[in-house]
Amino acid sequence: MAESRTPAALPDLQRKPPLWQTPWFNTLGRFAALIAVFVLFAVLVEKGKFYSVRNLESILRQSAVYATAALGMTLVIIAAGIDLSVGSMIALAAVMAAWTLNLNFAGAEGEMVYVIDQWPVMLPILAVAAALATGTAAGALNGCTIVYLRLVPFIVTLGTMGIFRGLAKGIAEDKSISPKDGAWVEDIMEPTLSGLATELGKPAEVRGDLSPYWTLLPPGVWMLIVAAVFAALLLRYTRFGRHVFAVGSNEETARLCGVPVARTKIIVYALAGFFAGLAGLMQFSFTKVGSSTTAISYELHVIAAVVIGGGSLRGGEGSIVGSLIGALVITVLSMGGQQAGWPKWVQEVVIGVIIIAAVALDQLRHRRLA
Amino acid sequence: MSLDEFMADQIATDRADAVPRLRMQGVHKRFGATHALRGVDLTVDPGEVHALVGENGAGKSTLMKVLSGALAPNRGRMWLDGEPYLPAHPLHARRCGVAMIYQELSLAPHLSVMENVLLGVEPTRGPLIRWAEMRRRASRALKEIGLEDLRPETAVGRLSIAQQQMVEVARAVALDCRVLVLDEPTSSLAQTDTEKLFALIRRLKAKGRAIVYISHFLEEVRAISDRFTVLRDGVSVGRGVTAEAATEEIIAMMVGRKVDELYPRSSHVSGEVLLRLCNLAGAEGPLSASLQLHRGEVVGIAGLLGAGRTEMVRTVFGLDEVIDGTVTVGAYTGPASPAKRWRQSAGMVSEDRKNEGLAQGLSVADNITLPRLEGLGPWSLVVPSRQAAACLRWIERIPIRCRSALQPVRSLSGGNQQKVAIARLLHADVDLLLLDEPTRGIDVGSKVQIYRLIDELATGDPESERRPKAVLMISSYLPELLGICDRIAVMCRGRLGDARPVDQWNEHELMVAATGRD
C-alpha cells in the first residue's frame, strides 16, 4: 500500500550509474586532461625535447614539491579548510634543515668547528627530523588556533603565512644558509633516470659506474610516492579518513555522530604541516641552500593543484590521485610554457584560465549529477 | 457528491456572477517520467483565504511554481480576474499581481527593510535611486500591514524571523498584489507570531486581496481559511467550506485512506529505565525537565515551537551544555559528549535534516556508518565495500529507496533521507533512540514506514533475540503522537510536565497543556 504511493520518478534500484558518473571515469578524465596538456607542449616545444627522458624526469622532480604539499592540502580542503601558510612552512622547513646541517661553533683556538664533521651520519638524520618536526609543529599550531580560538582557517593561515616566513628569515638571519656539507640530504632530488639513460647510451667499454642510479627515480620522487600511498590509504581505509570527509561535508552532523571534530581538524592541519615539511626538504635539496625567500606563492599552486584534482573548497570532496594529477598539470603548464618560449605573462594568464576552466567543468558535472 | 462538495458547489454557483480572482483548470505538469500535477482545479475569490492542503509530495509546491511563473504547465488554463494568465517568468507574475511568500525567506539580510521591500522595483531617476520616494513607498506598504513602528532603514538581518516574514508580506503589498500565496508560513514561527500573522492575513483579506494559504497543519487551516482544496498525488481530490468540513474528513482526503490504518501499535512490555532526567536544565533550553523512559516504551514530547523540546534532547545528548539537574543514560549518570553517548548506547536523529542531521554530499553508507565505523575491516580499518554491505541490510529492511549505498544522500527524497538518519541508529544498534521530529516534511508513505519501524523497535523480537528499545520522540504533529506513543509529556515554556499514558490525553488537552492555559 505504502509502495503504491511512492512517486514513479524514483530510480530503478538495480540500474548502475552511467559510466561518466563513476569516480573512475572522473579520475580518468583528469588524467586525459593531463595527457592533452602534455601532448600540446610535446608538439609546441621543438622536436623531441619535451618528451626526452631528461625532461620527463625534470617534470617529475619539479612537481614533487607541489605534489607533496598538495597531499596535505587535499586533507585540509576535504575537511572544508584552507591552508595559506604552506609556502611559508616549506621555506621554514628548508631553512631548518639547512640550519641544522650548518650547525657550528667557535672552537678553542677561535676556529669554526662544524658539527657535521664530527657527526657525519647523525646530523643529516637530525636535519631531516628537524624539517619534518618543524612542519608538523607549524601545522599543529594552525590547527589548534583554528579550533581553540574558533577562527576561520583563511584568517589564521593568512596570519601564520607571515609568522612562519618571518621565523624562517629570523633563523636564516635574513640571508640564505648554504651548509658546508649537505651530505645526502642535498641529493634527494638529484636526477637519476636521465643519468642512467646517458650511461646506458654509451658503448659498454666507456660506460661509467651505474650504482649511483640504483634508485631509478630520484629518492625524493619515491618519498612522494610512498607519502601519497600513505595519504590515500589513510583517507580511504581508516576511521580518521572517513571522519575527515564527515567533518568537511557537514560539521554539525559529524558532531552529532560523535566524531571528535576538534581532534580531527588539528590532526589534519598537523599532517598538512608534516607534508609541507617533507616538501621543504625537497625544496632544500633542489636549491642546495636554505633560503627564507624560497617557495613564495607556492600556496596558490598547491591549492590550484588540489582544486584541479577535484577538491571542493566547500569541503567533503577531493582525492589524492586527483591532486597528484593537478600538481603535474601545473608543472607541465609552467615548464612547457617556458620551454615553448612563451613570455612569463602568457604563462600566468594560461595557468589562471586553466584553473577556472577546470573548476567550471567540475561544477557542470556536479549540476548534471544533482 | 458529499454534502460538503454540494455546499461548495452551491457557493460557487452563488458567486458565479462575480468573476473569481484566480482560476486554474486542469493544470498538468510533467518532469520527465514524473507526472507531478495530473489535473488541478482551483478557484479563489477576492477577499477570500483559500487553504491548499495536502501531504508533502502532493504537488503543492509544483502548483505554486506554475502559479508564480517559475514553471510552465504542460496543459491546463489559468485566469486572473477573468483574463487569461500565463506568466513567462516570476517577475512577470509579480507584475501581474501574483506574489509568493516561500517557506524559506528570500530577503537580503544586509540590506535595509525598504530596500528589501522594493527589491527589483526600486524607484530611480536615471541611474540614481530616489531614496525619499523609496522610503515613502516602503512606509506606505509597512503601514498597510500594520508595521508602522518598523523603521524602513533597519537592516533586515537584525529582525526576528517573524518580522522578516512581515517584510516579505510588505514586499507583496508594495507591488499591490491581487493574489498572495503563503507557503507553510508558520513552520518557523512561534505561537504568538502565528497569531500576528493571522491578524495580518485577515486585514489583507478585508481589503479584498485573494490569499492562497498552503499548509498541512489542519488546525491553522481551520483557524484562518474560508474554503479549502485538497491536493493528493497531483490531483485536486476535494474542496469545500472549511467551517463545514470535519477534520477527519479532510485528513482522509489528504492521505486517501482511513486514519486508523496509519498508526500501528503493538503491545509493549516495559523493562528497566534507560533514560532518567532529574530537573534537567540546559544552557539553551529547558528550564526543568524530569522524565523516566523505560526499555520497550515510546514516549512522546508535545509542545509548541520554542518550548525547549529540541534543546532538551540536545542537552541530553551532549550537544548543549547541562547547567543543572542530572541525566542518566543507561548506567551512566552525568553529562557526556555525543561521542560518549553513542558508546552508552544512545543515538539521536536531529530535527534539522539538512544542516545537522545528514552530511548531504556523502554517501548513504558513509552517513549510516559514521557513528560506528568499528568492525568494518581488519585492524580497525574501514573497508568501503564492507561499509556498503553493512548498510544494505538496513536499506532493505526499512526500506530506503536508493540506487546503491554509495549514492550521495543529497539525491534522495526527503523521506528516504530521514530513513537514512534513522538507519544510523539501527546500525549503531543503540538501546535509546532520541528522535526529534522524525517525520517532519516527509511523504505519508515514508511516515507510515517510520511509524512501523518505531513500533517494531519498541516491541523487540524474542525469536531473533532482539531486545526492545526505548524511544523518545518529539513531534509537533499531535495525531502521530497520540497514534504511536505509550506515554506523552508536554513541554511548555521550558518545563516538562508529567508523562501520562496516551489514553489520558486527546488533542485538545495536549494543546491546552502546550499553551499553558489551565
pLDDT tens for residues A103-145? 888 888 878 888 888 888 889 999 999 999 999 999 999 999 9
Interface test with A, best of B30, B329, B373 (most A CBs within 10 A): B373
pLDDT, average across residues B283-304: 91
DSSP letter for B54, please.
-
Q: pLDDT tens, B34-63?
A: 678 888 999 999 989 999 988 766 788 788
Looking up cell 513607498, which residue turns up? B137
Burial of B465 (0-12, 13-18, 19+ CB in 10 A): exposed
Parent domain of A55: 46-104+113-190+213-369
Is the residue at A205 inside a domain?
Answer: no
Beta strands in B118-208 (DSSP E): 124-125, 128-129, 179-183
Q: Kindly report the nearest CA distance between residue B411 and chain A, in angstroms.
A: 6
Contacts of B392 in chain A (CB under 8 A): none
Flag if B361 and A241 touch (Cβ within 8 Å).
Answer: no
Question: For chain A, what is the domain count?
Answer: 1
Calpha distance B500→B513 (Å, rounded): 12
Residues of A with a Cβ under 8 Å from any B Cβ are: 1-3, 5-13, 15, 17, 236-239, 241-242, 245-246, 249-250, 252-260, 316-317, 369-370
What is residue B223's predicted lDDT score, i.e. its pLDDT?
87
Calpha distance B101→B182 (Å, rounded): 5
Q: pLDDT tens, B393-442?
A: 888 888 888 878 888 888 887 888 999 999 999 999 999 999 999 988 77
Flag if A257 and B338 touch (Cβ within 8 Å).
Answer: yes
Query: In chain B, what percentage of residues exceed pLDDT 70?
Result: 94
Interface test with A, best of B255, B342, B382, B406 (most A CBs within 10 A): B382
Flag if B33 and A17 touch (Cβ within 8 Å).
Answer: no
**How many beta-carbon pairs under 8 angstroms link A with B?**
116
Calpha distance B201→B26 (Å, rounded): 28
Flag if B33 and A6 touch (Cβ within 8 Å).
Answer: no
Phi, psi of B251 (to 5 degrees): -60, -45
pLDDT, average across residues A180-203: 80
Calpha distance A293→A91 (Å, rounded): 7
Annotate B479-506 with three-state secondary structure.
HHHHHHCCEEEEEECCEECCCEEHHHCC
Q: Kindly report the nearest CA distance between residue B423 and chain A, in angstroms.
A: 13
- Give the residues across from B270 on adjacent strands: none
Beta strands in B134-283 (DSSP E): 179-183, 210-215, 227-232, 235-241, 273-282
Provide the ipTM: 0.75
Is beta strand B500-501 parallel, antiparallel or unpaired with respect to B487-492? antiparallel
The whole-chain average pLDDT of chain A stands at 87
Annotate B233-255 with three-state secondary structure.
CCEEEEEEEHHHCCHHHHHHHHH
In chain B, the residue whose alpha carbon lies closest to the alpha carbon of A16 is: B403
pLDDT, average across residues A244-271: 94
Q: Kindly report the nearest CA distance between residue A262 and chain B, in angstroms.
A: 12
Is the residue at A320 inside a domain?
Answer: yes
Q: Is the minimum CB–CB distance between B239 and chain A shorter than 8 Å?
A: no
Interface test with B, best of A77, A244, A257, A312 (most B CBs within 10 A): A257
Contacts of A259 in chain B (CB under 8 A): 339, 370
Q: Is the minimum CB–CB distance between B35 and chain A shorter than 8 Å?
A: yes
**pTM given for the model:** 0.77
Interface test with A, best of B343, B362, B448 (most A CBs within 10 A): B362
CATH 3.40.50.300 placement within chain B: 3-97+177-257, 262-345+431-518
Is the residue at A200 inside a domain?
Answer: no
Is the residue at A17 inside a domain?
Answer: no
**At residue B261, does pLDDT exceed 70?**
no
CATH top class, domain B262-345+431-518:
alpha beta
Percentages helix, strand, coil for chain A (3-state, rounded to 5) are 70, 5, 25
| CATH classification at residue A356 | 1.10.3470
Residue B371: cis peptide before it, omega within 30 degrees of 0: no
Contacts of B233 in chain A (CB under 8 A): 5
Is the residue at A221 inside a domain?
Answer: yes
Is the residue at A263 inside a domain?
Answer: yes
Is the residue at A75 inside a domain?
Answer: yes
Phi, psi of A169 (to 5 degrees): -65, -40
Contacts of B371 in chain A (CB under 8 A): 257-258
DSSP letter for A300, please.
H
Q: Of A159-168, B12-21, B463-472, which gets the smallest average pLDDT? A: B12-21
Confidence of residue A195 (pLDDT cuts 50, 70, 90): confident
Looking up cell 528570500, which residue turns up? B106
Q: Which CATH architecture has domain B3-97+177-257?
A: 3-Layer(aba) Sandwich (3.40)
pLDDT, average across residues B359-363: 90
**At residue A1, does pLDDT exceed 50?**
no
pLDDT, average across residues B139-153: 85
Flag if A253 and B359 touch (Cβ within 8 Å).
Answer: yes
